[in-house]
Chain A
Amino acid sequence: MTSLRTHFRSFAQAPRRFYSGAPSTAAKLNLPVDYKTTPILHHTSSSLSNTEYPAGATSKRLNLYQAINSALRTALSKSDRTIVFGEDVGFGGVFRCTMDLQTEFGSDRVFNTPLTEQGIAGFAIGAAVEGMKPIAEIQFADYVFPAFDQIVNEAAKFRYREGGTGINAGGLVIRMPCGAVGHGALYHSQSPESLFAHIPGLRVVMPRSPAQAKGLLLSSIFEHNDPVVFMEPKILYRAAVEYVPNEYYTIPLSKAEVIKPGNDLTIISYGQPLYLCSSAISAVEKAMPGVNVELIDLRTIYPWDRQTVIDSVKKTGRAIVVHESMVNYGVGAEVASTIQESAFLRLEAPVKRVAGWSTHTGLSYEQFILPDVARIYDAIKQTLEY
């Protein structure tokens, strides 16, 4: 919606007051994420090799919104069936993801819509079922709910309902910025992936970094014929910078990635909390020499890569699931339950969940409600010492 629709520049540019308090000066764990050194990001172009990225590709340092922009530009160039639209998309979008695209590809294919999420989603579904590749932007995940009927009852059920006609809403991608930034309060912080992951028929994706985002977004548009809800952690739009291949490439959906191997404990997460997990793992491994923690990025939240997770937990015997949104009926519940069903006899400790508490993201309390490095650190120690 809407909304205050607000916040764009302040996220990274304007000086800002953190309502839930600056980090304590004595803090050793809850420090601001250092995106310049985190092992989650590719800080050199050479580290892109030995991965899923195309071999020998040229690359460029991009932040997350620039990588999304690059993916959209690639998609618009690759197929004239691709159209990009949403509120304020014409001038580049409030987070700058569609910058310059209208100038390059014209206002027939890149355009502003009126302020109506249900209209945007329904319009996108209609275009998809008639053969286009619509990429619809919802300005904030917090404002997707008027579109819930269209997404849940229409996009997700289209193929099933049409059956033998073969008509489906594949090619549809609904992008939305999600997640907390420290001052978004009730309506600029939410991360509603579990609501969509409950709906068979939708693919729900959340990238952790610029290079991941480009490959996963292009995969969503071109490699899968299912509607995709593509959630972009907005705190990373400017903060996360890494080398991103210039050319077209895809990263498979429904495939998790072990981003740090280890033998003693498995942490399963996705999106921004991966950076917190990484910091907590470093601290634990420093404090407890010999301990080695495995970190898995789910990447696609549904349908999810159960095998990679189960294989890992069978190896380590211990698991923690970390996500930002509320713990109650969240992704962690599904993952933990699947682990105990499939790896029960290998478990050395209960599967722990570190997630947002069962409340709303009140402005003054965000840092206490959402998972932080200290809580993840504590969970790792408790699980190892169980």
Chain B
Amino acid sequence: MSLKLLSRNGLRSQPVTTARIVPARRWSSSISQRPGSDSVRFPGAVNSKFTSEMAFLKASDLPAIPTYRVMDSDGYQIDKTRPAPNVTNEEVLTWYKNMLSVSVMDVVMFEAQRQGRLSFYMVSAGEEGITVGSAAALTPDDVVFAQYREAGVFQQRGFTLKNFMSQLFANANDTGRGRNMPVHYGQNYPRTHTISSPLATQIPQAAGAAYALKLQDLQNPNRDPRIVACYFGEGAASEGDFHAALNIAATRSCPVVFICRNNGYAISTPTLEQYRGDGIASRGVGYGIDTIRVDGNDVFAVNEAMKEARRLALSDGGRPVLIEAMSYRVSHHSTSDDSFAYRARVEVEDWKRRDNPIIRLRKWLENQGIWSEEQEKETRDEMRKAVLKEFGEAEQEKKPSLRDAFTDVYEEVTEEQREQMAELKRILETYPDEYDLRPYKDGINGLD
């Protein structure tokens, strides 16, 4: 921000007391340049060797950060010498069903929006492996801050179809009290904060939340330490909030795992116009943060990286970790977008055919002999029926009460708002033909 001139010069409104004046002492971090030293001893770079060769570091000369994967696109483990992923069949089947359920819901809801039964929807096609695989490495006590393409995180953390549908139809059962656009899910426990549309705002919040967890867990050593997981896209990583977040998380050693879903597009803007340099991962290193890039279509790679990231985040008193998970946004940005206005249909079809986290895991399961064509069909049918059932019920449910237009702005409704509610009620009573209050719980009495 600014120079903060006032506070630095001691021009505060409060008088500076003598107690605040600390006697001169040598700080442990203070460093001075010794004569004849062969390395930099400036405080801003303490391990740098002097050199007589003038050479600019060229980003393009550095090797690209590798992408970690466990299984290939045919569903086989690539490195046969390592042990198989440390998960039970039962667990993997749960992941698969969660990925599938989100995908089935996406198809139904996208279509529902096209039919005008929903104002808006965003699918997460192609990114189910990242969300489910990473959330599976969290404990229920861990805290999540997400963006808006993480339905798989909610699914894996116990969000039910009824919860999804209640939010999507903004009905009386929606924890967001009917206030948010569709796909802005939220739940108290396992804590997964309600989605906020502005991009990247959640990233510095995640650092602060992680700091809170760290202090609380230090103060209460009997509880299992917790981390914060924070999701965002590669487009959001261009916002100032991203940079602020990584830097502050590093300096305060916050136990937070930042998970960037790099899906190649921010609405129409391809990554080439979003950044130069080696993706988002290279920035983590710049902020002094342990970083890995993983294949987002490989649920095992994502899950293993997240487990290790969680361990690292809680080691040595806490530290942030960055995971860049690579994928391709096979969907349109949202139901408001037609992505064929800025990318070739064939490119999308190619990606859909070539690789996909769900198909890849299905192949793995079939290779293990624990999944079949019949199970696939039966499960999909059941899921579709379940989605449609909850859809129908949620659509019929009443909207919340009109008072919820005014509640929760402040802890308590203000005197001014009470007057506005009374004035609104007078208008509704004076002009009853102008308003349809039937969909609202309690009708006009909601304003009492």
Instruction: Report the bound CA distance from A30 to B432 in whole Å.
Output: 11
Instruction: Report the bound CA distance from A167 to B409 in whole Å.
Output: 43
Beta-carbon contact of B400 and A143 below 8 Å: no
Given contacts A7-B334, A91-B342, A363-B178, contact A357 B240 (CB under 8 A): no
Residues in B neighbouring A19, C-beta threshold 8 A: 119, 170, 178
A-B contact count (CB 8 A): 217
Residues in B neighbouring A46, C-beta threshold 8 A: none
Residues in A neighbouring B267, C-beta threshold 8 A: 5-6, 87-88, 94
CB within 8 Å of B: which A144-199 residues: 145-146, 149, 153, 183-188
Beta-carbon contact of B335 and A10 below 8 Å: yes
A304 to chain B, nearest CB (A): 25
Residues in A neighbouring B275, C-beta threshold 8 A: 114
Digitize A87-129: 1 where CB-to-B-CB distance is under 8 Å, 0 elsewhere. 1101110100000000000000001101111110000000000
A242 to chain B, nearest CB (A): 25
Given contacts A26-B433, A362-B177, A363-B170, contact A14 B335 (CB under 8 A): yes
Interface residues on B, range: 35 or more
B206 at the interface (CB under 8 A from A): no
B318 to chain A, nearest CB (A): 28
B80 to chain A, nearest CB (A): 42
Instruction: Report the bound CA distance from A46 to B252 in whole Å.
Output: 67
Beta-carbon contact of A149 and B402 below 8 Å: no
- Chain B CB within 10 Å, residue with most, of A5, A328, A369: A5
Residues in B neighbouring A88, C-beta threshold 8 A: 266-269
Digitize B319-344: 1 where CB-to-A-CB distance is under 8 Å, 0 elsewhere. 00000000000000111111001100
Beta-carbon contact of A119 and B197 below 8 Å: no
Beta-carbon contact of A374 and B434 below 8 Å: yes
Instruction: Report the bound CA distance from A149 to B241 in whole Å.
Output: 14
Residues in A neighbouring B435, C-beta threshold 8 A: 21, 24, 27, 30, 367-368, 374
B215 at the interface (CB under 8 A from A): no
Residues in A neighbouring B170, C-beta threshold 8 A: 19, 363-364
Beta-carbon contact of A27 and B434 below 8 Å: yes
Residues in B neighbouring A111, C-beta threshold 8 A: 273
Given contacts A1-B199, A3-B197, contact A114 B238 (CB under 8 A): yes
Beta-carbon contact of A146 and B239 below 8 Å: yes
B417 at the interface (CB under 8 A from A): yes
A56 to chain B, nearest CB (A): 38
Beta-carbon contact of A143 and B198 below 8 Å: yes
A255 at the interface (CB under 8 A from B): no
Beta-carbon contact of A1 and B198 below 8 Å: yes
Given contacts A4-B334, A10-B119, A115-B199, contact A184 B342 (CB under 8 A): no
Q: A27-B435, A115-B266 are in contact. List 8 more A-B contacts (CB 8 A).
A: A16-B116, A27-B434, A92-B341, A111-B273, A112-B268, A114-B273, A116-B239, A119-B240
List the 9 shortest-distance A-B pairs measured between CB atoms, nearest first. A15-B116, A365-B405, A187-B197, A362-B179, A364-B178, A2-B199, A114-B238, A26-B433, A183-B119
**Chain B contact residues, CB within 8 Å of chain A:** 1-2, 113-120, 122, 148, 170, 177-181, 184, 196-200, 235-236, 238-241, 266-269, 273-275, 333-338, 341-342, 399-400, 402, 404-406, 409, 414, 416-417, 420, 424, 427, 430-431, 433-436, 439-440
